[in-house]
Every structure is written in structure tokens, then in C-alpha cells.
Amino acid sequence: MKKVGNHNSISRKLFFSLALMLTFSLTSFAQVAAPAATEATAAPAATTGGDPVKGKGLFNANCAACHKLDARSTGPALRGVSGKYEMSWIYKWVNNSSDLIKSGDADAVKVFEENNKAVMTAFPQLSNADIDNIIAYTSEPKAEAPAATGAVAAPGAAAQESGISNNVILGALALVMAMLVIMLFLVNNVLRKVAKANGIEVAPKKPSISIWKAFAKNQFLVLVTSIFLLLASAYFVYGYLMQVGVDQDYSPIQPIHFSHKIHAGDNEINCKYCHSAARVSKNAGIPSLNVCMNCHKNIAEVAETTATPEYSKAFYDEQIQKLYTAVGWDKTTQSYTGKTQPVKWIRIHNLPDFVYFNHSQHVTVAGIECQTCHGPVQEYEIQKQFAPLTMGWCIDCHRKTDVKMEGNEYYAKIHEQLSKKYGVEKLTAAQMGGLECGKCHY
């Protein structure tokens, strides 16, 4: 039959265009992968035996309060300091510089005099290997400006390209869908023509109103359908109401972009350094800006390597400048101007007023990690609400979690009585009374 051949050629066209779209989207994927590969080869070379990556963490945690790499701060710039002294001298200096100065070491006395006799903190806790790591970090060559912008530009371009390729893929899919619809229409037409040519009758559509009339007449069907509709809508309304007031994943934009990933993750600053109240009181609290300035008097900008495709160095530096504006710190004169303006952090976690929740009870007494309730905060670029904070969530954990009894005088007696009562060795928070309404509700 000749007409069927016609039909075939249409589906062949269809396959061809599909194949074309596929190859097109695959090549755009390949382009995205390329810059990532070139980036990986540009690792910096260390000059001493230490590990510059570990050194950076140690430097930021211990030394950054007084030293910068390339500019003087409270102490001299430290880049290339390994060229000035023997490592053995540096170990002694860092472990206890005052001792070295008192011992009359000429170099030590000289640098002490040159810096207006400012006293450097002693770090007896740092091992020689730690100091090796720090010195390896200070020995890294300064990132050349053009090279650095190149490095930053590459991931940026990659991001842009992945954006483009996503668009290409979406566009291609839409096109394929549109083509499919057109093809179906054409195929339908061709088939009708074939049928007509062969003298087959195509039954005309029955008028659709009759179905509705038939339906309306059948009372049983009407009853079943309306019950079904009622149940379905009740289900959705219930689901909706249960969602009210549950703000899981709530992640507002804060007045200063503060990255927990950079602070608690990359620089390993302990949660409790900033949220110090979590250990001892009901609220964990947000740190005051004075706490920030302990470090940020000397950290006015982030390293080139901190920038990501999403957030540039300029963006991060602007955020630190916002901190300075808020506390009234003039970084050129290194002094407070006295003009301050409060930072209004937007509260993320918020239980209703009728619920009592106490951090120290959970963090100190129960020994629960922050991450159990707040998620992997050290990976959050932007803070968010990890847990649902519903009553079911609290109760669920109280049922599952054993109370830590060891080394806790307070529990020794209660434990004995209760474990007799329940006939078990271990007690969950629920068995201790963690399900009593009054414990959580005022």
C-alpha cells in the first residue's frame, strides 16, 4: 500500500529530529565539564614540608587576630617569614615569644623593639608540626591578580554555561513535545485519509451531552461521586491545615549575608564560641557584634580562594563592610567612630509561646549535638530551619532517645526506681516524663 509508506516517512522524520535534539543537548553538557577539568590542575605548590590547607585553618583560628599575610596589622605581615628565620627559632617564638625575648635572643629583641614592644600571645599548645603547617600556608606565593581573576572567572563561566545548556535542554524538550503533537495530528489525518480511500466508515462522534444526562439520571453514580469528592477535599484541607505554622526549610535573607559554611565549616569555629548561651541557658542566642569584631578587626576581606561562582570576593567583602558600618569601625584608622546601627537578624526558629524548650537541657544534660536538631549547619551557606519543630517531632525523639545516666548523680536514684518500674536497663526520655504535657506546655 502506497499510503502507508507516507505514514512511515513521518515517523522517520520524528526519530531523526529526536536524535538531533539528543546529540545537541549532549554536546552542551560536554562543554560544561571542560572548565572544571582545567581548574583542577592549578593546585598551588607548597615550599615547606607542612600542609598549607591545615595551616590556613590554624592561622585563621590562632594568628589572624593579629597577623595578615600581606599587610601589617598588630604584628608584621607573615608571608615569606620562613625566609627570615630558622624554623627552630620560629618554633620557640610561637610557643613563647616572651621567653625568647627575655633570653636575650638578638632577633627576638629586635622584632620586639620594632613593633613598639607589643606582646604576642604564647601558643604552647601548638606542636612543631602545627607550626610547620602554618608556615607552609604563609609561604604560599601571593596569588597574582590576573591569574586570580582568571580562576574566579572560570567557574563563573561554567555556571553561565550550565544555565545556557539547561535552557537549551528545556527548549529542546518543548520543541520535541510540540513536534509530537503536530505529528500525532498529521498521523491521525493520514489514517483518516487512508480509511476513506479504502472505503471504511469512520464513526462520527456521539453528542457528549447525552453522557452527562445519563450520569445525572443515575442517582447511585451521583452519590458515589459526591462522597468521593467530599473525602478528597477533606483530605487536602486537613493536609493544608497541618502545614500551617510549620516552617521547615524557612531560610530568610539576612541583613548581612553570614555564611555558617565559611565560619563553622571552612574555619572550624566552634558553634558555642558564638552561640555560647546554648550550653547554660534556655536560648542559644545570636552573638553580639562585639563577638564578630574579636576577629574582624583584622579580617577586612576574604581570601581570593573563598570566592565561589555564586558569591564573589567583592560580594563577601561588602558584607564585612556592612558589619563595620553597623559597629562603627573605620578600617583605615583602625578605630571606632562611635556611630552604630543595630543589625536586625531575622529569627528563623520560633516555637509558639505556649511551648517550653530549653537548650541546656538538651545540649548539656542530654549531650545532643546541635546538628541532630539543626542539620549540617557547617555546610549551610545560608542558615535555614532543618527540623519541622512540630509536637510530633519532639515526642518522637523523646520516645527513641535514651537518657544519658552515666556520671550523673542526679539520675542515679531515679534511674534505679524507674528501671524497676519499667523492668528495663535503659530509659528513654519519654519514660523519664518527657511525654507529660506540663513539661513542654506552660
Q: Which of residues 410-439 bind ligand HEC (CB under 6 A)?
A: 429, 432-437, 439
When binding is defined by CB under 6 A, the residue of 169, 191, 366, 418 that contacts ligand HEC is 366
Residue 150 vs 433, nearer CB to ligand HEC: 433
Grid cell listed for 225: 461521586
Stretch that binds ligand HEC, among 8-16, 171-179, 192-200, 387-395 (CB under 6 A): 387-395
Grid cell listed for 17: 529530529
When binding is defined by CB under 6 A, the residue of 21, 363, 415, 427 that contacts ligand HEC is 363
Distance in angstroms (rounded) separating the CA atoms of residues 93 and 100: 6
Q: Which of residues 180-199 bind ligand HEC (CB under 6 A)?
A: none
Least distance (Å) between residue 146 CB and ligand HEC: 20
Q: Is 291 in the site for ligand HEC (CB under 6 A)?
A: yes
Q: Output the 3-class SS for the chain.
A: CHHHHHHHHHHHHHHHHHHHHHHHHHHHHHHHHHHHHHHHCCCCCCCCCCCHHHHHHHHHHHHCCCCCCCCCCCCCCCCCHHHCCCHHHHHHHHHCHHHHHHCCCHHHHHHHHHCCCCCCCCCCCCCHHHHHHHHHHHCCCCCCHHHHHHHHHHHHHHHHHHHHHHHHHHHHHHHHHHHHHHHHHHHHHHHHHHHHHCCCCCCCCCCCHHHHHHHHHCHHHHHHHHHHHHHHHHHHHHHHHHHCCCCCCCCCCCCCCCCHHHHHHHCCCCHHHHCHHHCCCCCCCCCCHHHHHHHHCCCCCCCHHHCCCCCCHHHHHHHHHHHHHHHCEECCCCEECCCCCCCCCCCCCCCCCCECCCHHHHHHHCCCCHHHHHCCHHHCCCCCCCCCCCHHHHHHHHHHCECCCCCCHHHHHHHHHHHHHHCCCCCECHHHHHCCHHHHEC
Residue 96 vs 162, nearer CB to ligand HEC: 96
Distance in angstroms (rounded) separating the CA atoms of residues 179 and 354: 59
Q: What angle do CA 133, 138, 139 make, to 5 degrees?
A: 95
Q: Is 278 in the site for ligand HEC (CB under 6 A)?
A: yes
- Please compute, for residue 145, the number of CA atoms within 13 A of its CA located in the half-sphere on the CB side: 0
When binding is defined by CB under 6 A, the residue of 28, 308, 378, 431 that contacts ligand HEC is 378
Q: Is 46 in the site for ligand HEC (CB under 6 A)?
A: no
Q: Which of residues 229-248 bind ligand HEC (CB under 6 A)?
A: 245-246
Q: Is 79 in the site for ligand HEC (CB under 6 A)?
A: no
Stretch that binds ligand HEC, among 2-10, 21-29, 182-190, 297-305 (CB under 6 A): 297-305
Q: Is 292 in the site for ligand HEC (CB under 6 A)?
A: yes
Residue 31 vs 428, nearer CB to ligand HEC: 428
Q: Is 2 in the site for ligand HEC (CB under 6 A)?
A: no
Residue 93 vs 329, nearer CB to ligand HEC: 93
Q: Which of residues 89-148 bind ligand HEC (CB under 6 A)?
A: 90, 93-94, 97, 111-112, 115, 118-121, 123, 126, 134
Stretch that binds ligand HEC, among 1-9, 200-208, 230-238, 270-278 (CB under 6 A): 270-278
Q: Is 389 in the site for ligand HEC (CB under 6 A)?
A: yes
Q: Is 152 in the site for ligand HEC (CB under 6 A)?
A: no
Distance in angstroms (rounded) separating the CA atoms of residues 222 and 343: 61
Distance in angstroms (rounded) separating the CA atoms of residues 227 and 232: 9
When binding is defined by CB under 6 A, the residue of 25, 31, 57, 65 that contacts ligand HEC is 65
When binding is defined by CB under 6 A, the residue of 47, 95, 254, 419 that contacts ligand HEC is 254
Q: Is 362 in the site for ligand HEC (CB under 6 A)?
A: yes
When binding is defined by CB under 6 A, the residue of 68, 92, 275, 297 that contacts ligand HEC is 275
Distance in angstroms (rounded) separating the CA atoms of residues 376 and 286: 18
Residue 14 vs 292, nearer CB to ligand HEC: 292
Residue 52 vs 75, nearer CB to ligand HEC: 75
Q: Is 60 in the site for ligand HEC (CB under 6 A)?
A: yes
Residue 162 vs 428, nearer CB to ligand HEC: 428
Residue 28 vs 374, nearer CB to ligand HEC: 374
Q: Is 329 in the site for ligand HEC (CB under 6 A)?
A: no
Least distance (Å) between residue 202 CB and ligand HEC: 60
Least distance (Å) between residue 400 CB and ligand HEC: 7
Residue 214 vs 310, nearer CB to ligand HEC: 310
Binding footprint of ligand HEC, residue count (CB under 6 A)? 108
Stretch that binds ligand HEC, among 1-9, 43-51, 329-337, 344-352 (CB under 6 A): 344-352
CA-CA-CA-CA torsion sign (107, 108, 113, 114): positive
Residue type at position 353: D
